[in-house]
Amino acid sequence: MRGYSSDEPAGPSTPNALSRGFGVLGDEWTLFLLRFALLGCRRYTEFSTRMPISHAVLSGRLDTLVRSGLMARHEYQQRPPRAEYVLTDSGRATWPILTAIWGWERTWVHEHSYETPPMRHITCGQETTPVLTCRECHRPVAVQDLDTAWGPTGGWRSSVPEVATRRRSSTRGAAVGHTFYPDTMAIFGNRWSWALMGAALLGVRRFSEFEAALGLPPSLLSGRLSTLREHGIIEQVTGESAAERSEYRLTAKGLAFFPVIAMTIGWSERWFGSDEGPALIQTHRACGARFAGELTCDQCGEPLRGTSIDLSALDSTS
């Protein structure tokens, strides 16, 4: 991709903000817990009655969110004992990520076990689809509009998400019951799929290039690429002659996932960032400013806020 520098920082590879942030959020149950927490759920029973989840998994995910700083557990001295799980500032700040996922799944994914409800912008009263814009110049932004380079804490090996939880695996068409974010989890739900998606967004296209950048064994790399192809996120393009190697390119659906990635990068850098500097440095080519993204309403153009989106429709899809 034009504007991407592949030079990695020197020194040992240690998990950076992207590794930690995507590691925490790369789990379907975690995203669903955050969704209901944003809707006002606090007590264990409120989560368990809304989600088809075992008590062991629910307890584990809540503990992970507390350890990661996205929730705080408040215990009350009463009989019987009562505890509440309350979103912290970093937990509440995930709303743009979930909003971007909501918009992408509604637009691009039609194999849900339920119909993804429309999003309503309270400010203008219209149904809306979020648009990623530059916070500095307020223009819409796609990944092709950015110059991207590794920051002081960047690098492929440092950015592969940490394994915070055991992922729930599923395949399209399998009898797995509820799958709330099927295609999002094809990317987020496996740390190597996310790493592949990040590499593809930055312009890596050939099998050997993915292998060299990420250090993946060929069999694992092939399997992850097949999963992304199955979900229509990446396509394999074969060269016109036998001498030309095939390439893996993002489809329109894959490119449209960039707002989710951009919001997660911004959130990760804000809450897990290092004093040594960012993992990625992105510059918006149109205005020359360091890129910071925000979501705006496609109807009125105003920035979306956590308090300006009607979330009530989401509470009916559990």
For residue range 25-56, list pLDDT tens digits in order.
988 889 889 999 999 999 999 999 988 889 99
pLDDT value for 112: 63
The span from the CA of 97 to the CA of 309, in Å, is: 13
For residue range 258-301, list pLDDT tens digits in order.
999 999 999 999 999 999 999 999 999 999 999 999 999 999 99
Cβ partners under 8 Å of residue 262, min gap 6 = 100, 132, 141, 293
pLDDT value for 116: 76
CA 228-232-238 angle, to 5 degrees, is 80
pLDDT value for 266: 97
Cβ partners under 8 Å of residue 114, min gap 6 = 317
Buried b (16+ CB within 10 A) or exposed e, 130-168: bbbbbbeeeeebebebbbbbbbebbbbbbbbbeebbebe
pTM of the shown model = 0.88
Selection from 175, 141, 137, 123 nearest residue 310 by Cα: 123
Report residues of the chain scoring pLDDT below 50: 1-4, 166-178, 318
